[in-house]
Chains A and B, each alone.
Chain A
Amino acid sequence: MDADEFKRQLEALNAEYRAGLPAKLAEIDALWTESPGDGAALLRALHSMAGSARTFGVKGVSEAAAAAEHYLAPFCESGTEPKAAQRNEFERLLQELRRVAAGGSS
């Protein structure tokens, strides 16, 4: 297979990835709202989205996911529960992630 043929395969994988973003966001929302005590799983999901979105060329989604990941990480590392204002800030970052993903930002 030559590079051009692989690029076509890559475009198909990219389209599939973008089509799957709403489901990934729903998983992140569920981890945040339904399993607030499992910060590690939420952190992994955000880390995964930050890495994969950039690989698939959706830079805005990658940056928004990384921002949420970096905000959450210190709470997971220290084992402390975020306070109400910190939860609101994290909610704001998730909202930004949803907004960017819905716009298909690259």
Chain B
Amino acid sequence: MKGELKKILLVEDDPDIRVIVKSALEMLAGFEVRACSSGAEALSTVEEFAPQLALLDVMMPEIDGPGVLARLRERPATAALPVIFLTAKATPQESERLRALGAFGVLSKPFDPLTLHEQLRTIWEKTGNG
């Protein structure tokens, strides 16, 4: 889906981080954000919500971020969905590993809630969708 970034799927198991990310993206940028607390919830809602971008936590129980990405790539409707990972371990090696899995970007925790939406827009534009 090309054009201005509006709809984001957020997958984050930590409720505190989930609230702050959702609030920041909705209040500061006016994005429509669907927040999911698990990979399974995200996979059950992604096709109905039809996001333009998915923001995935890496370390989650049961299905982790890379696991969600792999399943998205298996489905025709979400195979090309741009994915950005949010991780507390954003070392160069880890970032490279996540990009090699097909991520469009890797953002590190802690993040600045005031500028998170700008970081997402910057990556979005680099995907060629903007």
* Contact of A47 with B88 in the complex, beta carbons under 8 Å: yes
How far does the Cβ of A64 sit from chain B's closest Cβ, in whole Å? Answer: 15
How far does the Cβ of B44 sit from chain A's closest Cβ, in whole Å? Answer: 22
Chain B residues near A17 (CB, 8 Å)?
Answer: 16
A25-B80 Cα distance, complex, nearest whole Å: 41
Chain B residues near A51 (CB, 8 Å)?
Answer: 14, 17, 88, 109-110
Quick one: closest A residue to B23, CB to CB? Answer: A9
Quick one: closest A residue to B19, CB to CB? Answer: A13
* Contact of A55 with B17 in the complex, beta carbons under 8 Å: yes
Quick one: closest B residue to A50, CB to CB? Answer: B88
Chain B residues near A50 (CB, 8 Å)?
Answer: 88
Q: Which 3 A-B pairs have the closest CB atoms?
A: A54-B110, A55-B110, A1-B27
Contacting residues of chain B (105-121) with chain A, CB-CB under 8 angstroms? 109-111, 113-114
Q: Which of B19, B59, B109 contacts A44 (CB 8 A)?
A: B59
Main secondary structure of the interface of A (DSSP, over half): helix
Known: A55-B109, A55-B111. A6 touches B28 (CB 8 A): yes
How far does the Cβ of A71 sit from chain B's closest Cβ, in whole Å? Answer: 16
15 A–B contacts, CB within 8 A, in A order: A7-B114, A9-B23, A13-B19, A13-B23, A17-B16, A44-B59, A47-B88, A48-B14, A50-B88, A51-B14, A51-B110, A52-B16, A54-B109, A55-B109, A55-B110
What number of A residues sit within 8 Å (CB to CB) of B? 21
Using a Cβ cutoff of 8 Å, how many contacts connect chains A and B? 52
What number of B residues sit within 8 Å (CB to CB) of A? 18
Main secondary structure of the interface of B (DSSP, over half): loop
How far does the Cβ of B117 sit from chain A's closest Cβ, in whole Å? Answer: 10
* Contact of A9 with B27 in the complex, beta carbons under 8 Å: yes
Contacting residues of chain A (47-93) with chain B, CB-CB under 8 angstroms? 47-48, 50-52, 54-56, 62
A10 within 8 A of B: yes
A51-B69 Cα distance, complex, nearest whole Å: 22
Chain B residues near A20 (CB, 8 Å)?
Answer: 16
Quick one: closest A residue to B112, CB to CB? Answer: A55
Chain A residues near B59 (CB, 8 Å)?
Answer: 44, 47
